[in-house]
Every structure is written in C-alpha cells, then in structure tokens.
Amino acid sequence: MKYMILLYGSQQDYDVLSGRASDRPAMSAEQIAAMHQHMETFHQALAESGELVDAQGLSEPVHARRVQVREGAPVVTDGPYPETQEVLAGYTIVECASFDRATEIAAGLVDPNAPGGYVDVRPVLEGIEDLAD
C-alpha cells in the first residue's frame, strides 16, 4: 500500500530558510546544511529499503495561486493567503507493508525541536474501489 506523508510549513518557515529574519531569526548556513543532510539521509534510507516512491518540496506560499470558480468564472488569488497560516510544504510517498509502518516512517519527519510540529499520513487511493475500505 502507498501512503503520502504531508509536511506543513508557513511563509515564515520559508523566510527563515532563505535567510530572511521575521519574528524568528534566520537560519544559519550550518543549520540549513544540517536540515538538508537529515532529509537526504532519511530519504536515502527509505530508497535503500525499497519503501521510497517519491519525495518533493514545494515552493513558498508567496509563489502559489488559489483558483476558485464563482458564478461560472475562475477567480485567481495570488499567495500567500492571510487566512492560512500553514501550507503544504512538501510530501513523501512511501510504499510499505502497513499504516503502522508508514506512521513510523512519518515520525522521522517531525522536527523534535518544533513545538507542536506534525505531519499527516494518508493512504493513497489506487482506484475507486479503495473508497469502500
């Protein structure tokens, strides 16, 4: 079964990663390198175990667009969105034996230094028949 692990962040998180201070100090080059090393090591281990399907980061919310349809016409809003603090920052898709294993993998993506940090784990539907489960 495939599972998607969804990672969340905010514009503020992208700012500190880019060296722009906000109400939090900008990350140092060493801190950024350590974060990248952790992610590379983490995903390499999943690739070696055969469980990694895909993993991607997403651009910062300032580069996003929200598309809605109102009265039959598309309405486009450029990001970031003031009503949304958190946005999808990236994802990892794994194929493993169980939801419990996917949850165990996901725990490795939660920053233990971020109070209240979390990721979501959701099964990936392979087809309409999966909706009945």
**What pLDDT is stored for residue 11 in this prediction?**
83
pLDDT at 84 (0 to 100): 61
- Per-residue model confidence as pLDDT tens digits over 51-80: 999 999 999 888 888 899 999 999 998 876
Select the more confidently predicted residue: 78 or 50: 50
Query: Which among 87, 92, 97 is positioned nearest to 121, based on CA atoms?
Result: 92
Domains and CATH numbers, the chain: 2-127 (3.30.70.1060)
Has residue 99 got a pLDDT over 90?
A: yes
Is residue 87 within 8 Å of 10, Cβ to Cβ? yes
CA distances from 34 to 17, 20, 63, 80 (A): 12, 18, 25, 27
Neighbours of 116 (CB within 10 A): 4
The pTM score is 0.86
Between 126 and 47, the more confident residue is 47
- The predicted pLDDT at position 65 comes to 87
